């Protein structure tokens, strides 16, 4: 944006002024940017455009969670979720229209894949959510944390995701702390290594199984990037970042599939001496799924085994499931264009490009 202003014969600092108007004050009209000269505002009207997406639908859960269906220019819709808690407000955003990874227990996977979101479509989810939350007078309706845990695999849309996260961290924009921006990945190892060098954010990894045989079935990407290599990549991610104490490992609790005491012991052996925190996610059902949620007792027993082995483990509280806003329930409206076999072959290519 600085280059854009310089090209117009303006000072570079106009960029930070406009950034603040857009991202901090939620303004999308140049006329309202009162610290720009009238002449500049008019010039911008002619030469530029601030295009913001449309909220196609808004739903509120009994527990205060809010979900928006965001309509993109091409007619596809993605979902964005706000989860208020006592001490924070977390916005869960999408990185792709659908997802190409085909994890068997995830509703997004069933929608298929259409395309990557652009960086502006990613960041605009913060913009629209903040705008939508603003009229609420209660103070807890503020976005303090962002998680890339919505639709899509963020590390398969690397450049756009990193650019959007830079705006989240930028003091001229959202100014979020690097501890409060979390990217969740199914484990695209080369991109994790790249990420460690490019930007400093928290990392969560969707593990879901303690061995390759089972993870191959649940998260097909595992066939390319198996468990041991994935854990090693996580350890590398933390290298040289002493203030980052742990990687969060997500583990969905599927009844009779990955939730036995033996699975817990295997997981404990895998993570015992690692900088790990395990997040157990009770499975969230969706239409026509073959899975069921593990019982509360099973989840407690699983957690206890990990805990006794010295692995920090918490059970993620289910939020927003009455409006299909919980983990793994996001569907949006995706015009499926996936030929999954082709996508798979291209994954590595894309990561390295
Ligand atoms: N593709 C990235 C980002 C999605 S994050 C990733 O895989 O990490 C969404 C999280 O919810 C992931 O950990 C995912 O595995 C988990 N999840 C998917 N389906 C779920 C379901 N039905 N119930 C609970 N968690 C689910």
- Domain co-membership, 184 together with 154: yes
Same domain, 147 and 27: no
Residue 140: predicted pLDDT: 52
Q: Based on the fold, state whether residues 23 and 68 are members of the same structural domain.
A: no
Q: Per residue in 183-242, pLDDT tens?
A: 999 999 999 999 999 999 999 999 999 999 999 999 999 999 999 999 999 999 999 888
Q: How far is the CA of 245 from the centre of ligand 1 (A)?
A: 22
| CA 162/CA 159 separation, integer angstroms | 5
Q: Quick one: pLDDT at residue 137?
A: 54
Q: What is the pLDDT of residue 42?
A: 96
40 plus 115 within the same structural domain: no
What whole-number distance in Å separates Cα of residue 249 and Cα of residue 316? 12
Burial of 220 (0-12, 13-18, 19+ CB in 10 A): middle
CATH of the domain at 22: 1.10.150.530
Q: What pLDDT, in 10s, does the model give residues 242-278?
A: 888 899 999 999 999 999 999 999 999 999 999 999 9
Tell me the residue range of the domain where 33 lies: 1-50
Do 342 and 302 sit in the same domain of this protein?
Answer: yes
Tell me: do 132 and 172 sit in the same domain.
yes
Residues 116 and 44 in one domain: no
- Residue of the CA atom closest to atom 8 of ligand 1: 185
> Do residues 155 and 206 both lie within one domain?
yes
- Residue 259 sits at the vertex; the CA angle it makes with 257 and 320, to the nearest 5 degrees, is 90
Question: Torsions phi, psi of 290, nearest 5?
Answer: -90, -5
For 57-68, how does the pLDDT look when each residue is reduced to its tens digit (9 = 90+)?
A: 999 999 999 999
Which residues pair with residue 82 across a beta bridge?
66, 91
Same domain, 23 and 132: no
d(CA 120, CA 124): 6
Active site (annotated) includes residue 121: no
Looking at the structure, tell me whether residues 28 and 155 fall in a common domain.
no
Q: How confident is the model at residue 288 (pLDDT cuts 50, 70, 90)?
A: confident
Catalytic residue selected from 99, 103, 234, 327: 327
CB 308 within 8 A of CB 87: no
- DSSP helix, strand, coil percent of the chain (3-state; round to 5): 40, 20, 40
- 150 with 30, same domain: the answer is no
Q: Residue 59 maps to which CATH number?
A: 3.20.20.70
Residue-wise pLDDT for 54-107, tens only, equals: 899 999 999 999 999 999 999 999 999 999 998 999 999 999 999 999 999 999
Counting the structural domains of the chain, the total is: 2
Lining residues, ligand 1, CB within 6 Å: 103, 105-106, 149, 153, 184-186, 206, 250, 252, 281, 283-284, 327-328
Q: Are residues 99 and 244 in the same domain?
A: yes
């Amino acid at each position: 944006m600085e280059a854009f202003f310089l090209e117009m014969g303006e000072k570079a600092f106009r960029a930070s002024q406009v950034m603040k108007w857009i991202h901090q004050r939620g303004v999308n009209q140049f006329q309202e940017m009162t610290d720009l000269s009238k002449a500049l505002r008019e010039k911008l009207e002619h030469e530029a455009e601030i295009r913001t997406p449309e909220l196609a639908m808004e739903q509120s859960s009994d527990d205060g969670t809010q979900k928006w269906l965001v309509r993109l220019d091409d007619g596809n819709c993605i979902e964005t979720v706000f989860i208020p808690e006592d001490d924070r407000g977390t916005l869960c955003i999408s990185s792709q229209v659908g997802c190409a990874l085909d994890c068997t227990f995830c509703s997004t996977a069933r929608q298929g894949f259409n395309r990557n979101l652009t960086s502006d479509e990613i960041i605009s989810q913060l913009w629209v959510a903040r705008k939508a939350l603003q009229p609420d007078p209660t103070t807890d309706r503020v976005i303090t944390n962002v998680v890339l845990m919505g639709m899509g695999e963020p590390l398969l849309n690397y450049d756009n995701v990193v650019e959007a996260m830079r705006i989240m961290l930028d003091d001229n924009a959202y100014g979020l702390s690097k501890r409060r921006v979390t990217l969740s990945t199914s484990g695209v190892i080369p991109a994790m290594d790249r990420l460690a060098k490019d930007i400093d954010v928290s990392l969560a990894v969707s593990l879901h199984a303690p061995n390759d045989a089972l993870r191959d079935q649940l998260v097909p990407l595992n066939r390319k990037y198996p468990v041991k290599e994935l854990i090693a990549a996580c350890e590398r991610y933390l290298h040289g970042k002493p203030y980052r104490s742990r990687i969060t490992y997500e583990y969905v609790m599927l009844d009779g599939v990955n939730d036995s005491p033996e699975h817990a012991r295997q997981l404990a052996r895998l993570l015992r001496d690692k900088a790990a925190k395990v997040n157990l996610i009770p499975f969230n059902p969706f239409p026509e799924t073959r899975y069921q949620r593990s019982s509360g007792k099973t989840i407690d027993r699983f957690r206890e085994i990990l805990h006794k082995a010295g692995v920090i483990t918490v059970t993620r509280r289910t939020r927003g499931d009455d409006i299909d806003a919980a983990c793994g329930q996001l569907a949006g409206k995706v015009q499926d264009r996936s030929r999954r076999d082709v996508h798979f072959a291209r994954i590595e290519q894309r990561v390295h490009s």
